[in-house]
Amino acid sequence: MAKQETQKATRTSQGGFMIWHGMTCSGLWRFMRSRPLLHWSRLHRILSLPFSAVYNSAMKLVEGMLYGRKVRETKIEHPPVFVIGYWRSGTTFLQNLLSRDPQFQHLGLYRALFPWHFLLTEKLVTRLTAKLLPTNRPMDNINVHWDSPQEDDLPLCIMSLLSPIHLLVRPHDQGTFWRTLDFDKLPAEEVSRWKNSLSLLMKKLTFASGKRIMMKSPYHLFHVPTLLEMYPDARILYIHRNPYNVFRSTMHLRRRMIEENTLGRLIMDGSEEAVIGSYRLGFEHYEKTKHMIPEGHHHAICYEDLEKDPIGVLRGAYEGLSLPGFENLEQALLPEVESLKRYKKNVFDDDPYWVNKVYEDLKDIFEQYGYERPEVAGGDATDSDGATAAEDAAVVETPAESKKESPSEPNAASA
C-alpha cells in the first residue's frame, strides 16, 4: 500500500445535532433525574431538549399505532454479525468495509439518532435535512451522511440510558462510564431495559429489511455472554489494535464528543486512567468469555493487518465465521481499497509520560498481541484506521498536574 499523506487533525462540529435529541419525554425525565452537569453557556442545548422530546414522543406514538404489532411479531431469520473491539481499535473501519457486502444491512446515522420512530420518519426527514449534516465526524476525517454506519450503542443509550456514552453529560464523574461496563453489578431491571431496547432495535431493522444485520459496538466487548444469550447463533468478529494508538485516539474521541454533546463544562479529569483501565478490563472480559462462542461463530483480526491487506484479512474472517458471499464483497471493495492510498492521516505529538504509562500498565497485552514498545514520536507519528472508515486521533492533551504523579488504575468500584 502506498504511503499515506499526513495532516493536522481536523476539528469538525456536529452543528445543531446532539445525541440527546433522540430521547422521548419519558427518556428526558429519566435523563434529567440522572443529574447531568449543566452550565449556562450550554443553555441553547438544554432548551432544545424538551422540544425534541415532545416531537420524538409524538412520532413514536404514531409509529407504534402503524407498525407496533408487526414489529413485535417480527422474527430475526439470519444470525446477526457483531463487530466488537475496544473504542478506536478499528471497529468503524471494519464496519464500513463489511457494509459494502450486499447481504448485510447496517445501522445508519438517522436510525441511530432517532431509534423510536425511524420506520415512520426516515425517508422524508433525511431528504429534507441532508444538507444540514456536517461534512465530517467531529473526531476524524470520515464523511457523514444519514446512512453512514453507526454503532448500536448510540440508540441503546437513547432508548435505555444505560451506556458509557452517558459520561458525555457527566464528565466530572468517571463512575458514570465504569458503571455500565459490568452487567453483573447492575440491577436486573436495568439490564432488562437494555436487552429490551436491543431486541426492539433488531426487530425494527429486520422489519425494515430482510437482510442479515451487521452491527458494531465497542460496548459489546464487555457483554459477549449477553449477546449469546439473546442471539445464540450470532457471529462475533473481534478486532484489536496497538494499545498505545488506541489510547491516544480514544483520548481525542472523548474530548471531541464531550465538547459536542455536553450540557455543562468540558472536564477531562481522570480520563487517561479510565481509558487505560477500561482497555484492560475489555481485554480481560474478551479473553474470559470468548470460549463461550460456538466454534465457527468467532474470529479475531488485527487492525494493522486489515489496513495492509483488507481483502485477504476479510476473506479469512468470512471463512472463520462460516459466512457465504465473500465474492460479492471482494468485488465491491476493490475501488475502496485503492482509496486507502489517498487518505490523509493525522499527525500527533506524543507525551513521554503517557507513552511509558500505557506500555507499563498494558505490557502483557502488548506482548500477547505482538506489538513493540511505543516510542515518543515528537509529532511524526500518524494514526488512521484507513480510508473512508478511519478512526483518527489528534494531539493528546493532558493536564499538567497529571504528569507529575503516577495515578493508580481505576476500577468499577472506586472510579
Question: Each residue of 326-348: pLDDT tens digit?
Answer: 999 999 998 877 776 555 545 55
pLDDT at 211: 96
Q: What are phi and psi of 119, to 5 degrees?
A: -60, -35
pLDDT in the model for residue 95: 95
Distances, alpha carbon 4 to alpha carbons 1, 197, 256, in Å: 9, 41, 24
What is the Cα–Cα distance from 413 to 410, expressed in whole angstroms?
8
- What pTM does this model have? 0.85
Indicate the DSSP class of residue 297: S
Residue 339 has a pLDDT of 74
How far does Cα 58 stand from its chain's mean position?
28
What are the E-state strand segments in 116-274?
Answer: 212-216, 235-240
In the beta sheet, which residues pair with residue 345? 6
The whole-angstrom separation of Cα 354 and Cα 273 is 10
| Residue the block writes with cell 483518527 | 392
Region at 63 (left for phi over 0; alpha for psi -120 to 50; beta for the rest)? alpha
Mean pLDDT of 271-300: 96
3-state secondary structure of 215: strand
8 A C-beta contact, residue 241 and residue 303: yes
Alpha-helix residue ranges (DSSP H) falling in 233-384: 243-261, 271-289, 303-308, 310-320, 326-339, 352-361, 363-369
Q: What does the pLDDT read at residue 131?
A: 76
Residues 6+ apart with CB under 8 A from 352: 376
pLDDT in tens, 207-229: 999 999 999 999 999 999 999 99
Task: Give per-residue pLDDT as tens, 361-376.
Answer: 999 999 999 999 998 7
pLDDT more than 70, % of the chain: 81
pLDDT 10s digits, 78-137: 999 999 999 999 999 999 999 999 999 999 999 999 999 999 999 999 988 877 766 655
Tell me: pLDDT of 69 over 50.
yes
Residue 40 CB contacts under 8 Å (≥ 6 apart), including other chains: none
Scanning the structure block, which residue is given the C-alpha cell 425494527?
204
pLDDT of residue 133: 66
What would the grid cell of residue 211 be?
437482510
Contact in structure between 396 and 351 (CB atoms under 8 Å) = yes
pLDDT band at 351 (very low <50, low <70, confident <90, very high): confident
Whole-angstrom Cα distance, residue 279 to residue 251? 12
Beta bridge partners of 81: 214, 235
Look up residue 325 and give its amino acid.
G
pLDDT for 9 beyond 70 = no
Quick one: which H or E segment has residue 105?
strand 104-105
Residues near 19 by beta carbon (within 8 Å), at least 6 away in sequence: 113, 154, 157, 158, 165, 168, 261
Residue 313 to residue 23: CA distance in whole angstroms = 39
Query: All domains of the chain, ordered by start, with CATH?
Result: 19-403 (3.40.50.300)
Could you report the per-residue pLDDT of 126-159, keeping only the tens digit for each? Answer: 988 877 766 655 545 566 678 889 999 999 999 9
H helix or E strand, kind and range, residue 92: helix 91-98
334 burial type by CB count under 10 A (0-12 exposed, 13-18 middle, 19+ buried): exposed
